[in-house]
């Protein structure tokens, strides 16, 4: 059948869409290594909560001073986790005067979501 023909679509690899989708085709080592980095960044309860705190924020931005007290951890530890999330491309930040603000990067999240989706909802109308 043409099943294998279809898959080739999504993997342009140029814009960051990356990777054909988990169900679509086996990953090569490079793709797997890159995606693993992202999932590893999500593989910690503290980072997940941090990310959800940031991503669910109405204004789209959160000051670190609002994040730290939400955890029973030291300030350096929170800072460390934020750094990992940022290095993974899941969030970004900016210093604005005294405070540092973080926000989520939806593109990375959606990319991972698309990768995991098994029922390829062919929403790619483009």
Residues that bind DNA (CB under 7 A): 40, 43-44, 46, 63-65, 68, 72-84, 93, 95, 97-100
Residue 40 phi, psi dihedral angles, 5° rounding: -65, -35
Exposure on the CB side of residue 4, measured as CA atoms within 13 A: 2
Q: Can residue 123 be called a binding residue for a second copy (CB under 8 A)?
A: yes
Q: Can residue 27 be called a binding residue for a second copy (CB under 8 A)?
A: yes
Q: How far is the CB of 120 from a second copy (least distance, A)?
A: 11
CB of 103 closer than 8 Å to CB of 91: yes
End-to-end CA distance of the chain: 24
Query: What residues numbered 89-108 form the site for a second copy, per CB under 8 A?
Result: 104, 106
Alpha carbon 50 to its chain centroid, in Å, reads 12
What residues line the site for a second copy (CB under 8 A)? 3, 22-27, 29, 32-33, 35-37, 39-49, 51-53, 55-56, 58, 104, 106, 109-110, 112-119, 121, 123
């Amino acid at each position: 059948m043409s099943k294998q023909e279809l898959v080739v679509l999504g993997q342009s690899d140029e814009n960051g869409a990356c990777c054909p989708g988990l169900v679509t085709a086996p990953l090569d080592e490079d793709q797997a290594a890159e995606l693993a980095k992202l999932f590893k960044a999500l593989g910690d309860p503290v980072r997940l909560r941090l990310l959800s705190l940031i991503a669910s924020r109405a204004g789209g931005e959160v000051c670190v001073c609002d994040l730290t007290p939400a955890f029973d951890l030291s300030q350096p530890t929170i800072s460390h986790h934020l750094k990992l999330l940022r290095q993974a491309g899941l969030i970004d930040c900016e210093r604005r005067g005294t405070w540092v603000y973080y926000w989520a990067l939806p593109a990375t999240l959606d990319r991972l979501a698309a990768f995991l989706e098994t029922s390829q909802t062919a929403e790619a109308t483009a």
